[in-house]
Chain A
Amino acid sequence: EIVMTQSPATLSVSPGETATLSCRASQSVSSKLAWYQQKPGQAPRLLIYGASTGAAGIPARFSGSGSGTEFTLTISSLQSEDFAVYYCQQYNSWPRTFGQGTKVEIK
């Protein structure tokens, strides 16, 4: 099983600033990595797939990068609606696995 490790667990950022979230895979997942956003009481929402492709309707301030075992989600110019928990997920092999999440909170 591929273990996905996200860091940091919590990120405190001021509105308008940039947030950088990391996700590391225990073995290569190529570019088969997705990012999701989840707000309290809501279902997750797909943000990024293929490590760097934005999902439909996702603002351009969300961007992804990386391949192999190291991945980054960057949120530029944070808006109030961006404060949430973010998960990465690999889909290179079974079982599909998620990271434990990074909470982005208001500083």
Chain B
Amino acid sequence: EVQLVESGGGLVKPGGSLRLSCAASGFTFSSYSMNWVRQAPGKGLEWVSSISGSADSSHDSDSVKGRFTISRDNAGYSLYLQAHSLRAEDTAVYYCARTYCSGGRCYEFFDSWGQGTLVTVSS
């Protein structure tokens, strides 16, 4: 069974930093691109960042580019999101999500999700 468990959320002051983690199990982690998707309180879903299985490519949304960095540890079955210069508008539940892959190809929609970790940016 695929499991994704996020951690690292909490309350942080504007301008502060935070590192989110996602522990994966139940599948061959290195074979899948992984993603962070966030949801502000009472709002819709927003894709944040994606990283390929081998970590040789990544993409970020414009809203976090230059402030957030996605990374992964394939040996440790872990995904990370390092967030710097946090703003009030970064307040959200951050979900770790697995990209759908089949037949050696991956398509950036999300077939498994964690339960999320809440990041609150407030003074």
Chain A interface residues (CB < 8 Å from chain B): 1, 32, 34, 36, 38, 42-46, 49, 55, 87, 89, 91, 94-101
Contact = CB atoms under 8 A, between A and B. Distances in A.
Contacts, number: 57
Contacts of B77: none
A55 B111 contact: yes
B44 A96 contact: no
A96 B116 contact: no
B107 A98 contact: no
Interface in B8-44: 37, 44
A49 B110 CA distance: 9
Interface of B: 37, 44-47, 50, 59, 61-62, 95, 100, 107-116
A34 B109 contact: yes
Given A43-B95, A43-B114, A49-B100, A95 B47 contact: yes
12 contacts: A32-B109, A34-B110, A43-B113, A43-B116, A46-B100, A46-B112, A49-B109, A89-B109, A89-B110, A96-B47, A98-B46, A98-B47
B41 to A, nearest CB: 12
Contacts of A44: 37, 45, 95, 110, 113
Contacts of B37: 44
A102 to B, nearest CB: 10
Given A43-B113, A89-B109, A91-B107, 20 more contacts: A36-B45, A42-B115, A43-B95, A43-B116, A44-B95, A44-B113, A45-B113, A46-B110, A49-B100, A87-B45, A89-B45, A91-B109, A94-B59, A95-B47, A95-B59, A96-B108, A97-B47, A98-B45, A98-B47, A101-B44
